[in-house]
Structure 1
């Protein structure tokens, strides 16, 4: 094996990677995924959580609440659940920033203060927080738009 600075053809550069560093194995794995048409799935993410087209949520503030009742308010605000969707699959809360993955009608929070939370996307402006078992929970988050601010 020559010096790393030695001039080589592009096809020769993989030969310089040590096998124990995963170079050859990594290239073989990526090549197999491209041939099979699959994408890598993050550790701890079930395949069912990442099905559907990759999307980005519309930017804006999401206000979260529990449903109210007929005798009182239409909803019981939960400011601690609120978040703001920013550009590039990022969100922020009062506690910090993080990222999310949105595919089809599922939104999974991947990093930050809400990490591990999942939402069912019912529309561009309406999310329903999921229970740990994957069923729709009571908390709903609505994106503030011109007519509901």
Structure 2
């Protein structure tokens, strides 16, 4: 078991060759606030990091799963266990 790096995480979908490179998905943004804890605009919760797999276990993101690609970079996991399109990256330290 492990912990994600504390800070604000911004989530986005890939853009297109003719438009912006990324399309931010503000509704998916979150912050890692402490040992296995996170917050969103809708409330607080907990997560579990096992190896590279992150599972949000309580709170507004309960049941959502992600894969830790590198320090501060996560990508969603679908119900079939395959990587999805949504990526979240650590954008900076915690904001008050």
Name the SS for the 1:72 alignment partner: coil
- List, as ranges, runs of 4+ consecutive aligned residues in structure 1 with deviation greater than 3 Å: none
How far is the alpha carbon of 1:70 from its aligned partner? 1.3
Q: Distance in 1 between matches of 2:85 and 2:60?
A: 20
Q: Which of 83, 91, 94 is 2:38 aligned to?
A: 91
Output the TM-score relative to the length of structure 1.
Answer: 0.61
Q: Does 1:111 align with 2:40?
A: no
Q: Deviations over 1:61-103 (max 9, x none)?
A: 1100100011111100100000000111100000000000001
Q: Does 1:136 align with 2:83?
A: yes
Name the SS for the 1:132 alignment partner: coil
Q: RMSD in angstroms over aligned alpha carbons?
A: 1.1
The structure with more radius of gyration: 1
Give the aligned partner of residue 49 of structure 1.
none
Which one has a larger percent strand, Structure 1 or Structure 2?
Answer: 2
Which ranges of structure 2 fall in alignment gaps of 5 or more residues? none
Which one has a larger percent helix, Structure 1 or Structure 2?
Answer: 1
Which ranges of structure 1 fall in alignment gaps of 5 or more residues? 1-53
Aligned residues: 93
Give the aligned partner of residue 18 of structure 1.
none
Give the aligned partner of residue 47 of structure 2.
100
Name the SS for the 1:144 alignment partner: strand
How far is the alpha carbon of 1:114 from its aligned partner? 0.3
